[in-house]
């Protein structure tokens, strides 16, 4: 499919940020498996005369539904509490920022999925000391556009300009 590409189903589901994709897939799969187990339980109970097989099938169905609910909760929890973008996005954003001539050093690159199709990026960068404010604004706008162009899910880019130079233990830290 278009969203799965060359990944396995489980990997595609794990990397998907749209819960409706895998909720439908696994809820329906669990329902179909439950129907098969129910049929087998009733059929075996009738064929053997052992009534407990029907009850055992009901327990298995409950375990299937419980496992499915647990797995879906596990997969969606990261979206509820906040999940960063994939490593390749973070590394790519860092690389784009490092290629901006007016940026001397890139500090933290923080990302957060705000929804399936919405990533927020926050960068802390150290601009060259001789970079005028106008060129700094242009560099930020160009960097933001490049990030959004390469990763369309990135909707907001915040660039924090700060001094990121390391200081020796003898030097006072900048305030």
How would you write the pLDDT of the chain (175 residues) with one tens digit per residue?
Answer: 444 556 676 666 666 666 677 788 888 899 999 999 999 999 999 999 999 999 999 999 999 999 998 988 887 776 666 677 888 899 999 999 999 999 999 999 999 887 777 889 999 999 998 989 899 999 999 999 999 999 998 999 999 988 876 554 555 545 4
What is residue 72's predicted lDDT score, i.e. its pLDDT?
Answer: 83
Phi first, then psi: what are they for 117, rounded to 5°? -120, 30
What is residue 78's predicted lDDT score, i.e. its pLDDT?
Answer: 66
Cα distances from 166 to residues 29, 102, 146, in angstroms, run 54, 19, 28
Gap between the Cα atoms of 118 and 82, Å rounded: 12
- Kindly report the pTM of this predicted structure: 0.56
Gap between the Cα atoms of 167 and 175, Å rounded: 12
- List of residues 6+ apart from 86 with CB closer than 8 A: 15
What is residue 21's predicted lDDT score, i.e. its pLDDT?
Answer: 72
Structure tokens at 35: 């129907």
Give, to the nearest 10 degrees, the angle between helix 52-81 and helix 19-48: 170
Q: Which residue has the tokens 């390391």?
A: 166
Cα distances from 107 to residues 88, 90, 164, 169, in angstroms, run 17, 12, 7, 20
The answer to whether 108 touches 144, Cβ cutoff 8 Å, is: no
């Amino acid at each position: 499919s278009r969203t799965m590409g060359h990944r396995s189903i489980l990997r595609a589901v794990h990397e998907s940020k749209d819960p409706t994709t895998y909720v439908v897939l696994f809820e329906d799969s669990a329902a179909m498996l439950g129907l098969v187990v129910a049929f087998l339980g009733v059929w075996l109970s009738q064929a053997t005369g052992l009534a407990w097989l029907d009850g055992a099938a009901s327990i298995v169905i409950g375990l299937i539904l419980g496992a499915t609910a647990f797995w879906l909760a596990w997969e969606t929890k990261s979206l509820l509490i906040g999940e960063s973008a994939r490593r390749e996005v973070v590394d790519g954003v860092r690389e784009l920022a490092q290629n901006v001539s007016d940026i001397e050093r890139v500090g933290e690159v923080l990302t957060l999925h705000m929804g399936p199709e919405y990533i927020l990026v926050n960068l802390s960068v150290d601009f060259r000391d001789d970079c005028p404010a106008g060129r700094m604004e242009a560099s930020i706008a160009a960097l933001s556009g490049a990030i959004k162009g390469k990763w369309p899910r990135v909707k907001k880019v915040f660039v924090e300009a700060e001094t990121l130079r390391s200081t020796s233990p003898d030097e006072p830290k900048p305030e």
